[in-house]
Homo-oligomer: A and B are copies of this chain.
Amino acid sequence: MPERVLAAGVDLGGTKIYSLVADADGNVLADDRRPTQAAEGVNAVIDRIVASVRQALDEANVDTGEIVGLGISTPGPCDPQRGVVTEAPNLGWSDVPLVDLVSKKLGVPALLENDAAAAAYGEMKFGAGRGKRHILYITLGTGIGGGIIIDGQIYRGASGAAGEVGHLVLEPDGVACNCGARGCLEALASGPAIAREAAAAVTAGRSDLMAKLAAGKELTAELVLEAAQQGDPAAKDVIERAGRYLGLGLVGLLNVFNPEALILGGGLIGLGDLYLGPAFEAARECGFEQVLADVTMTTAKLGGRSGALGAAALMIDRSTT
The chain A residues found within 8 Å of chain B, CB to CB, are 77, 134, 146, 148, 150, 155-165, 167-172, 179-181, 244-245, 248-249, 251-253, 255-260, 285-286, 288, 290-291, 293-295
| Contact residue among B162, B172, B248 (Cβ-Cβ distance under 8 Å from A248) | B172
Known: A77-B290, A288-B179. A258 touches B162 (CB 8 A): yes
* The 5 A-B residue pairs with the shortest CB-CB distance in the complex, in nearest-first order: A157-B258, A168-B252, A181-B286, A158-B294, A162-B258
Question: By the criterion CB–CB under 8 Å, are A169 and B288 in contact?
Answer: no
Instruction: Enumerate chain B residues within 8 angstroms of A286, measured Cβ to Cβ.
Output: 167, 169, 179-181
Query: Of A155, A168, A252, which is in contact with the most chain B CB atoms at under 10 Å from its CB?
Result: A252
Query: Of A253, A258, A294, A295, which is in contact with the most chain B CB atoms at under 10 Å from its CB?
Result: A258
Question: By the criterion CB–CB under 8 Å, are B161 and A294 in contact?
Answer: yes
Instruction: Enumerate chain B residues within 8 angstroms of A257, measured Cβ to Cβ.
Output: 157, 162
Closest beta carbon of chain B to A112's beta carbon, Å: 17
| Contact residue among B159, B255, B260 (Cβ-Cβ distance under 8 Å from A258) | B159
Number of copies: 2
Write the chain B residue with the least CB distance to A180. B286
* Complex-state Cα separation, A170 to B146, whole angstroms: 19
Question: By the criterion CB–CB under 8 Å, are A146 and B256 in contact?
Answer: yes
Write the chain B residue with the least CB distance to A169. B248
Closest beta carbon of chain B to A124's beta carbon, Å: 14
Question: By the criterion CB–CB under 8 Å, are B168 and A168 in contact?
Answer: yes
* Complex-state Cα separation, A159 to B288, whole angstroms: 12
| Contact residue among B160, B167, B256, B295 (Cβ-Cβ distance under 8 Å from A158) | B295
Question: By the criterion CB–CB under 8 Å, are A259 and B158 in contact?
Answer: yes
Closest beta carbon of chain B to A198's beta carbon, Å: 20
Known: A170-B170, A286-B181. A159 touches B294 (CB 8 A): yes
* Complex-state Cα separation, A161 to B291, whole angstroms: 7
Known: A158-B258, A159-B290, A286-B181. A172 touches B171 (CB 8 A): yes
Instruction: Enumerate chain B residues within 8 angstroms of A291, measured Cβ to Cβ.
Output: 157-158, 161, 164
